[in-house]
Structure 1
Amino acid sequence: MSAPTRRSLREQAATIGESPSAPTASASVPPRSTRRGLGRMLADALLWIAAIAGLACIVLVIVALTANITLIMFRTGSMAPTIPAGSVAVVQSVAASQVHVGDVVTVDREGSLPVTHRITSIAPGASEGERVITMRGDANAADDPYPYTVQTVRVVLFSVPGIATVIVAMGNPYVLGGLTIGATALVVWAFWPRSTKDPPARREPTGADR
């Protein structure tokens, strides 16, 4: 039996030094990098929110056109505390014959701004579809100075306090321009091509490389 050489002794020592629990080259490879980091996930979430908001706006526009629904803003507090100043109300145009005492309605006045108050009385008009109504603001102590002869009115369905200033601001060209730029930047960032290559695997030195 030949005596072991120096090279064979080194190989045996390297083999003995390796244990099943020692990290191998494959175990040292970092996990595969994901395409979506935190920023990409945030961008996707914002895009989904924008898409849902856009869809909701489309649905609301269709409903508004088909059901004669519009928005009105309250600049004064004549209907406080029910509808304080700065509120926005959703109103629907209906025939005057469909309203009742106690309803809050908007009446259009020729040459003046519309008035939105609560109906206090209803009387028949000159024609079948015409009504003569008196109204009073909830914050007022007396009825309006004169009755209103109407064939159609806009009934207040519900109101949201404090958002009139937001809606007015949305009509500002600077605000609209900023929103447009922000939305464009978000879309470009979300769909900008990103590298999908994984980082090179790091190889642990073995006993044979020492």
Structure 2
Amino acid sequence: MSTTAPVQPVVAPDRPATVRPESRWRVTARSVGVGLGYGVLGVVLLVAAVTILVPRLAGAVPLTVLSGSMEPTLPVGSLVVVRPVDPADVRIGDVVTYLPNPDDPTAITHRVTGITHRTDGGVTFTTQGDANGAPDLPVQDFQVRARVWYVVHHLGHVNSAVNVDDRHVGVVLVAGGFFVWAGSLWYRAGRSRRAAAAVAVSAGGDHGPVELAEQGPVRHP
């Protein structure tokens, strides 16, 4: 008697995934490198924001602390961002920036310790560095230019490096460098993800069913 049995697909047995140790090491090292790259990029963008972007948007000016007269509040090398201030709004305890000499752009940033209202309607300020033992010479209201907004320690040297003669050119170049660097990191990260996916596929293999080619009925005696 002849019978016809249905044809069943033959499933290939599972094969253990084999990944060479050096492949795993390369993927892990690449992932760590990408993570570190993103971390460094985040720090760089933060530095760019506090030294360039935020001051420009707020009409502020970044200055570098060059002396220790305001330590420990403003250590040497700190970045001090100051904003223009109306002398009438200055209060005792504020840290202000003033120009001691009208023909000298060198500014002094010290704390206000006293305020005297003159008979002519003007104001004279007494200022002193936190680390100094004596006050400065009297500061007139027209000498006061700004008040300290915020301080970032150790970033003053970065500001000095960017503060070239043509600051606008320096800002454009630095910002452009940041964007180029960010683009290169994102590009390398994409390549790393694709490479890792390729390694995973190569290691896992194809475990799907293996179909038999079309054939006639199977006859059993």
Match of 1:26 among 1, 6, 13: 13
Match of 1:132 among 121, 124, 137: 124
Match of 1:101 among 92, 104, 114: 92
Deviations 1:34-66 (A, max 9, x none): 9x9324433543464436864885598564344
Q: Percent identity?
A: 26
On the 8 A contact 1:69/1:92 being kept in 2, the answer is: yes
Change (3 A) 1:126 1:110: farther
Deviations 1:153-176 (A, max 9, x none): 322234333333354467799xx7
Q: Does 2:202 align with 1:199?
A: yes
Match of 2:140 among 140, 148, 151: 148
Larger radius of gyration: 1
- Quote the offset at 1:96 in angstroms: 1.2
Q: Does 2:59 align with 1:68?
A: yes
TM-score (norm 2): 0.56
Secondary structure of the 1:196 match is helix
Secondary structure of the 1:134 match is strand
On the 8 A contact 1:69/1:90 being kept in 2, the answer is: yes
Amino acid in structure 2 at the alignment position of 1:199: S
Structure 1 unaligned spans of 5+: 1-23, 204-210
Secondary structure of the 1:150 match is helix
RMSD: 4.4
Distance 2:81 2:50 in 1: 15
On the 8 A contact 1:71/1:90 being kept in 2, the answer is: yes
- Quote the offset at 1:105 in angstroms: 0.7
Secondary structure of the 2:55 match is helix
Distance 1:136 1:83 in 2: 13
Whose helix proportion is higher, 1 or 2? 2
Structure 2 unaligned spans of 5+: 1-10, 165-169, 208-221
Distance 2:135 2:154 in 1: 26
Distance 2:116 2:56 in 1: 30
Distance 2:49 2:149 in 1: 20
- Quote the offset at 1:143 in angstroms: 2.0
Change (3 A) 1:100 1:57: same
- Quote the offset at 1:111 in angstroms: 2.1
Q: Does 2:79 align with 1:92?
A: no
Structure 2 partner of 1:11: none
Query: How many residues are paired up?
Result: 174
Change (3 A) 1:127 1:184: farther
Structure 2 partner of 1:207: none
Amino acid in structure 2 at the alignment position of 1:155: R
Secondary structure of the 2:157 match is helix
Deviations 1:9-37 (A, max 9, x none): xxxxxxxxxxxxxxx95322417999x93
Moved more, 116-125 or 163-172: 163-172
TM-score (norm 1): 0.58
